[in-house]
Chain A
């Protein structure tokens, strides 16, 4: 087993104006499950392909364990890859598919058999070993692809959107299976996805990327609760964090955030930091997660300085929770996540309160989280 280290790694394609990956620095610990996440074109797959050896590194160093592997061929990097298009060898049965790589590496027959059967048992595909890929379902094929990687017993697993071709139900199931499997195998895993739910549920640590740059690398909890900038704040969480542009003003010895339909008092701890950084009197963006807007009377009563009044334009009741699309707060709709049994309805005017201890404040120009930087 081994860790992976990227030092000032760049990827620039010939003829391109700018680099696809810029100054990527990351130390991935041995046995860590690291997720690279970001929108399409952010450089996450390119980064993974550089680690796999499928893309040349334009600049910088890549270590697997203690070895610099920039010029090492993919097959000699001791890695195993699982891709979105899990191409099984269609003319071979499941056993042969899993055994092929080992056969090429001249493993003894009994060792190949042991590894294949053990992986098949782990993945619960023992009964499929004689079948051809065409006779397998999508989920079974994906498990065979994983099996093909597992039998190699590599130092690092690289997975590029391995669940994207599966339907939603199967994806959820496989997500849990992969997490369980990686914990059991105790192998370093680098996993690429565009799906923030996948990232949040699977990763020990998540790297959020945009335009080829790392935006933030942190644990799921850290990313959710302490995003360093507007992009991370908006990318992680569904529904996304609400952003309201307004002004910070000093009134009655306290700092208030004021925007259309909003006048709330910023708690003293945060106010102190905002004052110290000279943001009072300036326009900023306030970020509020949907679950930090409350409709419970007890909370409203206890939070007289953070009350907002709004009109419910649309309500989506999912049973256990309800999303309210609120009008009249700032320029855009604000979404609140409330109890599914609250009885609130579309068109209704409603009194709510923001949990101001959970708010984030972003600089209008740099988009950095003022309270986290």
Chain B
């Protein structure tokens, strides 16, 4: 029954993004070497609404062939595995990491309720969790199920807001109703339903409006009109404005406590090489700025196919290039008092780590030291140790939130856990 081998070694492969996949088995990788390169006509409505399962392979090159998002363990890391992992994480002197809560499968963005409930979104599982502190013991409750990639959430005026691809849903008086949140109320839905890069993040500004990212439904191409942008949305009225253009896949950002400006991380296109282009940290100085995608990457690299006559000098350059395939996601300005004084207003970025690179990098927490003008930014690794070998993960950090005491919490969707990083001088 091996009649089809010769012609159809083309491994359609390596199913959907991280959570589903798991086909990166040895046999699949071997088949992979013989097949033809993936090529997709991604600039069509049919592709956006029904992308092939391996849509992210569409622009692969001979050199990068066979790379695909890895799949984590279905039930995350066990408590024994987490305990072993904590010993491997490297931090600057005086800092300590511990498990805050295990069993938070596919954990993504976090938000605090007014009464101390930690809300956590998830990726493909469709869950939203509430974590309560019962005298030091953390109780993880699944409070919402079956949502469409509810990666982003926010808490405001007693309400929990969840963004599930094309619906921003409000659950009133959430902390008093953890057992019966109901269906909520959709407060904004002028968004496309595209699954690819359709998962989102919420950052709340001082006026209570939400910054929402809209990624293109493919790796690279001329984006559909409603995406590759950041919008600013008023959850009270559903009013919205396009705040920035030319943005690829952004899944993290924060409002500068010094200036009120929105800073955001951005994942660059794949399939150029292991070292190009760099992912970015950006700042929006004024409404309507264009950040270059798909014409120009990392501030200085024209796309070979999609530059289409543009120059990089037309676009807002990044504050900082963070490195190729490091996958910067959630980020926060450090406004607490627990860490040493030099951390004040630094940016801490959770890097999810590579898949489109032969030797994974990122997969850490990066510290960026930069003034309010965005000039002369410097970066250094703050916490690391989640990558093992060339293509192995113990965990994948993807969001950061400050706790009241000035420590930080880190969400990990691979190990399905929340960590706490604290500082004490001795």
A and B: interacting chains? no
Chain A interface (Cβ within 8 Å of chain B)?
Answer: none
